[in-house]
């Protein structure tokens, strides 16, 4: 069973834009149920029947077979073997869909199809009655609204961008008409489920809306997810041996100074976030922290033997840079839940001159998603490293998830949290290093 997120609301509230982006970020399947009603509307129109007449529509249902396919994560609707995904996006078919959707037999006809898809996957499903009828036990329910004028404006822009010749007033009239139809029909009218969160998107950006819902989904996942575990003691002991050997080796080659060790965590499942200076930064941190850490390492490193074997042995896993790598974020979360720390370098790339760069959003995202603290680490040394160079590794006080102040997973929130983490790290780095 996957996690179900139901997004309902009137036409043009931004459901599909929001749902698509959410599905992309979270690796969920997006199910656009409006497309199912549109396909039926399209079929009825193509047969020359009246879309508002149950007598004419119901007998046609027996001839209809609808399938949803996913091509590169994008939903395609297959009506009797034909891909009609693009043909169902006209104002005429919008109205036809609204008409047929008021017929109880049409809604029954589509009920099981929608439930079947939801049963198998983590899904974001948008429509009008998802939270109330189709998936009443969905873990997350959202009711998206916006003023009719704003919704008409958005739909108008969308149709214009697609090259369709439309007049704003007509789009607004359509929206008002469809609102009336959708909320006054007898079967499954458009209404907010009692337990749905209502979001008025009139003056919100797409990123703000997506971030708010993402946060709700993540909280629901956290409730469902397995509790944190501890790494078995024997594994920690086993790891202590190579760690000791490496520490002796590094202490011979460099003049290592560790400061702020009283701030070190006395348990696992935390994030250690440092500035990135050298390829062996993870080692500098690992040899001083008692608990075993997992690492994100750039995917290219896994192309080379024996480096790949070594990195995996020390719990490294690949991440693709410059993209929201959903699988790397999932691996990071799994590691933290199993009791490992996560050592991460939020800037992503090494700083050659010691200047502190900007954090990528991953670190704040994982901290907020897992609800774990971030321990800042500052690594400092002067100019080029050579034998017996002095390297200072300074551990700072942990930053709690509450201090990161992430209200939604919007880019703005994640960026602000990333900046807070980097400024804590910067405070631990020698200014002349
Ligand atoms: O979301 P949309 O504009 O593509 O939907 C087209 C029509 O289908 C809409 O006017 C109402 C109807 N519909 C519905 O009644 N129930 C759903 N779950 C989805 C759409």
Q: What pLDDT tens digit does each residue of the chain (433 aa) get?
A: 689 999 999 988 999 999 999 998 888 999 999 999 999 999 999 999 999 999 999 999 999 999 999 888 889 999 999 999 999 999 899 999 999 999 999 999 999 999 998 888 899 999 999 999 999 999 999 999 999 999 999 989 988 998 888 999 999 999 999 899 888 988 888 989 999 999 999 999 999 999 999 999 998 988 877 778 999 999 989 999 999 999 999 999 999 999 999 999 989 999 999 999 999 999 999 999 989 999 988 888 889 899 899 889 889 998 887 666 788 888 999 999 999 999 999 998 888 888 899 998 899 999 998 999 999 999 999 878 999 999 999 999 999 999 999 888 899 999 999 999 999 999 999 986 6
pLDDT at 103: 96
- Cβ neighbour number for residue 305 with a 10 Å cutoff: 8
Atom of ligand 1 nearest to the CA of 127: 18
Query: Is 17 in contact with 206 (CB distance < 8 Å)?
Result: yes
Tokens of 60: 């046609």
Atom of ligand 1 nearest to the CA of 188: 15
Dihedral sign of CA atoms 22, 24, 25, 26 in order: positive
Atom of ligand 1 nearest to the CA of 98: 10
Measured CA to CA, the distance from residue 389 to residue 254 in angstroms comes to: 5
pLDDT at 40: 98
pLDDT at 348: 87
Strands 140-145 vs 123-127: parallel, antiparallel or unpaired: unpaired
Residue of minimum CA distance from atom 20 in ligand 1: 34
User: In the chain, which segments carry CATH 3.40.1130.10?
Assistant: 233-426
Tokens of 349: 């790339």
Residue of minimum CA distance from atom 13 in ligand 1: 34
Q: Which CATH architecture has domain 4-224?
A: 3-Layer(aba) Sandwich (3.40)
Query: Is 45 in contact with 93 (CB distance < 8 Å)?
Result: yes
Q: How far apart are the CA of 362 and the centre of ligand 1, in A?
A: 35
Q: How far apart are the CA of 94 and the centre of ligand 1, in A?
A: 8
Query: Is 209 in contact with 144 (CB distance < 8 Å)?
Result: yes
Q: How far apart are the CA of 128 and the centre of ligand 1, in A?
A: 6
pLDDT at 351: 85
Measured CA to CA, the distance from residue 290 to residue 37 in angstroms comes to: 58
pLDDT at 326: 80
pLDDT at 45: 97
Which residues does a 6 A CB cutoff place in the pocket of ligand 1?
Answer: 11, 33-34, 37-38, 94, 97-98, 101, 127-130, 178, 182
Fold that domain 233-426 belongs to in CATH: Glycerol-3-phosphate (1)-acyltransferase (3.40.1130)
CA dihedral 301, 302, 304, 306 (to 10 degrees): 110
pLDDT at 322: 65
Pocket test for ligand 1, best of 9, 10, 33 (most atoms within 8 A of CB): 33
Query: Is 66 in contact with 77 (CB distance < 8 Å)?
Result: yes
Residue of minimum CA distance from atom 17 in ligand 1: 127
Q: How far apart are the CA of 126 and the centre of ligand 1, in A?
A: 9
pLDDT at 55: 97
Q: How far apart are the CA of 106 and the centre of ligand 1, in A?
A: 12
User: In the chain, which segments carry CATH 3.40.50.300?
Assistant: 4-224
Helix (H, G, I), strand (E, B) or coil at 408: coil
Measured CA to CA, the distance from residue 32 to residue 36 in angstroms comes to: 8
Closest by CA to 206, choosing from 403, 420, 24, 367, is 24
Between helix 34-46 and helix 54-61 the angle, nearest 10°, is 100
pLDDT at 1: 65
Sheet with 197-200, side-by-side order of all strands = 29-32, 123-127, 4-8, 140-145, 197-200
Measured CA to CA, the distance from residue 153 to residue 358 in angstroms comes to: 36
Closest by CA to 23, choosing from 74, 69, 77, is 74
DSSP designation for 257: E
Measured CA to CA, the distance from residue 331 to residue 316 in angstroms comes to: 10
Q: How far apart are the CA of 8 and the centre of ligand 1, in A?
A: 10
Measured CA to CA, the distance from residue 364 to residue 160 in angstroms comes to: 38
Tokens of 295: 């690492």
Residue of minimum CA distance from atom 10 in ligand 1: 98
């Amino acid at each position: 069973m996957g996690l179900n997120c139901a997004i309902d609301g009137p036409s043009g509230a931004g459901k599909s834009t929001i749902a698509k982006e959410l599905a992309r970020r979270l690796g969920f399947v997006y199910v656009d149920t409006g497309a199912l009603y549109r396909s039926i509307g399209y079929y009825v129109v193509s047969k020359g029947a009246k879309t508002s007449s149950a007598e004419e529509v119901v007998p046609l249902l027996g001839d209809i077979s609808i399938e949803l396919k996913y091509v590169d994560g994008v939903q395609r609707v297959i009506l009797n073997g034909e891909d009609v995904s693009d043909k169902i996006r006209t104002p005429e078919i919008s109205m036809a869909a609204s008409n047929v959707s008021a017929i109880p037999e049409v809604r029954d006809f589509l009920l099981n199809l929608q439930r079947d898809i939801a049963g198998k996957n983590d899904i974001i499903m948008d429509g009008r009655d998802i939270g109330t009828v189709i998936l009443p036990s969905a873990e997350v329910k959202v009711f998206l609204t916006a003023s009719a004028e704003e919704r008409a404006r958005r739909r108008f822009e969308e149709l214009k961008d697609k090259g369709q010749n439309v007049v704003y007033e007509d789009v607004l009239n359509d929206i008002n008409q469809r609102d009336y139809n959708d909320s006054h029909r007898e079967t499954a009218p458009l209404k907010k489920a009692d337990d749905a969160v209502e979001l008025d998107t009139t003056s919100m950006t797409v990123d703000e809306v997506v971030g708010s819902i993402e946060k709700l989904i993540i909280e629901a996942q956290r409730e469902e997810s397995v509790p944190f575990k501890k790494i078995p003691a024997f594994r920690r002991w086993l790891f202590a041996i190579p760690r000791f050997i490496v520490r002796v080796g590094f202490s011979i080659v460099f003049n290592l100074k560790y400061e702020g060790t009283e701030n070190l965590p006395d348990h696992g499942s935390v994030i250690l976030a440092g500035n990135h200076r050298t390829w062996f930064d993870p080692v500098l941190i690992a040899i001083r922290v008692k608990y075993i850490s997992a690492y994100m390492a750039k995917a290219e490193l896994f192309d080379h033997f024996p480096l790949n074997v070594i990195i995996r042995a020390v719990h490294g896993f690949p991440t693709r840079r410059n993209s929201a790598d959903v699988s790397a974020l999932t691996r990071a979360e799994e590691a933290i839940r199993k009791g490992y720390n996560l050592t991460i370098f939020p800037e992503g790339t090494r700083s050659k001159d010691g200047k502190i760069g900007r954090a990528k959003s991953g670190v704040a995202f994982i901290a907020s998603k897992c609800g774990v603290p971030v321990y800042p680490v500052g690594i400092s040394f002067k100019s080029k490293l050579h034998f017996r160079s002095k390297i200072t590794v300074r551990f700072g006080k942990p930053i709690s998830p509450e201090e990161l102040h992430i209200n939604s997973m919007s880019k703005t929130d994640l960026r602000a949290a990333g900046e807070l983490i980097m400024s804590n790290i910067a405070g631990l780095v020698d200014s002349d290093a």
